[in-house]
Amino acid sequence: MAKRALTSFVCSQCGNDSPKWLGKCPVCGEWNTYVEEVIATKSSARQLPGLTGYETQKIHPVLLQQIDTGEEIRMDLKDGELNRVLGGGLVPGSMVLIGGEPGIGKSTLVLQTVLKLKNYKTLYVSGEESARQLKLRAERIGTEYEKLYILCETNLEQIFTHINTLKPDLLIVDSVQTIYTERVESSPGSITQVRESAAALLKFAKETGTPTLLIGHINKEGSIAGPKVLEHIVDTVLQFEGDRHYMYRILRNIKNRFGSTSELGIYEMRQNGLREVDNPSELLLTRNHEGLSGVAIAAAIEGIRPFLIETQALVSTAAYGTPQRSATGFDIRRMNMLLAVLEKRAGFKLIQKDVFLNIAGGLRVNDPAMDLSVISAILSSSLDVAIEWEICMSGEVGLSGEIRPVNRIEQRILEAEKLGFKKILIPQNNLKNKSNSNIKIVQVKKVEEAFRELFG
Ligand code: TYD
Ligand code: MG
């Protein structure tokens, strides 16, 4: 009797395994995510080559008091945005995963970063693009550098052989889904393969102190490589996102063992690579809408950075029975809630109107302080009365139309003032100590008050 291959069913969302197929994953609660995978390790397979010539550290239990925290030396990546999102540079021995949809610019970001690192020997393992393609891309970005090694290889055993001879200071793997190890039988890209390969790379990073950057694709549900397992393995998860039709790209930190996750990096995709955007407000405000209705400027904060952003709304009479609702860059359920508040407080006839909402620049802003500008832009378009262009606003709107306090109001006011706004609408009792600033601060308690201030 032929011996059956040893298989197991693995949840493609969280990586949980089970000997039999399950409809619903008991761990993550997702439906229909179990796939069968061969888990047997090949007896004939070679072991991963040991790390030779590296000073690997023996690990012993140590007393907490005796651990030397010292000043952590981080690797400066010569990219302000990336450094900040990582919490001040790359930590030696850490493993960072950069996830994003195909074509968003992950390879470009990593390549242009390593091209700038003159003091480090970098090994760029590419399983997707040929060396020629990478060279063309590097030429497009425009910096040449002699200490960057390209390796077009997907076999993990082979990769480790080259690592042993080259001893890079920084390792890049583009992408983790293309790498496979001979030790497990399942096909490249499967959960078992990705997990095994990532675990072996993590071991390498930790034992040798070599920082390792993995690039990973996001599946359509938005989780990296289906297997969320990767997110547990690595130290830091960065997500590169943006609308491919716009030039802005956002680098978000969704997990960080060495810093805060509230940081955000903004880039602009150019012909010659990605450009850091250090002053987002100036790009997000076009200021060519003077006198046009349906535009409100929000003083928003993402991470720790305040910026001013345009909220645009278009309200028209619904042609069909069911009015259309669409929101780009804003949660549509939240918009529907705000529309209901408008109906109650400003006599806005919901049922007869189509509402389209757009946050400028293809950004997705999660700051609740956007509410006031969303509701004002919609009313402005509905009334066809423009909001004065020197006014901006910040405030969360509650169900009864009250305007709730938001965080870091001082920073928002400062940014608005810096950009030359004359007036800012903020929630009442939000600002504790009023400093004498050039901008007129108007405190509002209810949406009606805000509307009176804006539309008279
Ligand atoms: P890429 O880095 O290959 O994406 P990923 O690795 O996330 O799949 O980026 C692909 C897109 O970026 C491609 O559509 C072309 C565009 N691009 C530019 O606009 N300017 C550039 O300088 C480069 C290198 C790419
Ligand atoms: Mg790529």
DSSP conformation letters of 372-438: HHHHHHHHHHHHT-PPPTTEEE--EE-TTSBEEP-S-HHHHHHHHHHTT-SEEEEETT--SS----S
Beta carbon of 100 within 6 Å of any ligand 1 atom:
yes
45-54, 273-282, 285-294: range with lowest mean pLDDT: 45-54
Greatest distance between any 2 Cα atoms in the chain: 87
Note whether 340 and 318 are same-domain residues: yes
Within 8 A by CB and 6+ apart from 206, the residues are: 93
- Residue with the smallest CA separation from ligand 1 atom 13 is 103
Decide if 197 is inside a domain. Answer: yes
Decide if 228 is inside a domain. Answer: yes
Note whether 265 and 295 are same-domain residues: no
- Picking from 222, 244, 277, the residue at the C-terminal end of a domain is 277
pLDDT in tens, 375-413: 999 999 999 999 998 899 999 999 999 999 999 898 899
- Split at pLDDT 50, 70, 90, the class of 56 is low
Q: Domain range holding 190?
A: 76-277
Residue 226 has pLDDT above 60, yes or no: no
Residue 137: strand, helix, or coil: helix
Beta carbon of 29 within 6 Å of any ligand 1 atom:
no
Identify which of 269, 272, 276 to mutate to test ligand 1's pocket (most ligand atoms within 8 A of the CB): 269
Note whether 294 and 197 are same-domain residues: no
CA distances to 182, 366, 406 from 301, in Å: 47, 9, 10
Which ligand 1 atom minimizes the distance to the CA of 215?
6
Note whether 196 and 153 are same-domain residues: yes
Beta carbon of 140 within 6 Å of any ligand 1 atom:
yes
Q: Give the total number of structural domains in the chain.
A: 3
Q: How many CB atoms lie within 10 A of CB 154?
A: 20
Task: Please provide the average confidence, as pLDDT, over all residues in the chain.
Answer: 85
Beta carbon of 53 within 6 Å of any ligand 1 atom:
no
Which ligand 1 atom minimizes the distance to the CA of 140?
22
> Mean per-residue pLDDT for 36-45?
63
Which ligand 1 atom minimizes the distance to the CA of 129?
3
| Contact yes or no for 299/419 (Cβ under 8 A) | no
Please indicate, yes or no, whether the overall pTM of this predicted structure exceeds 0.75. yes
pLDDT in tens, 412-448: 998 888 888 899 999 998 887 776 778 899 999 999 9
- Split at pLDDT 50, 70, 90, the class of 291 is confident
Note whether 268 and 299 are same-domain residues: no
Decide if 60 is inside a domain. Answer: no
Of 325, 341, 422, 335, the residue nearest 370 (C-alpha): 335
Decide if 55 is inside a domain. Answer: no
Sign of CA dihedral 132, 137, 143, 148: negative
Decide if 268 is inside a domain. Answer: yes
Q: How many CB atoms lie within 10 A of CB 373?
A: 29
Note whether 239 and 154 are same-domain residues: yes
Question: How many angstroms is it from 105 CA to the middle of ligand 2?
Answer: 7
Note whether 199 and 255 are same-domain residues: yes
Note whether 214 and 306 are same-domain residues: no
Decide if 48 is inside a domain. Answer: no
Residue 70 has pLDDT above 70, yes or no: no
* 189 sits in which H/E element: none
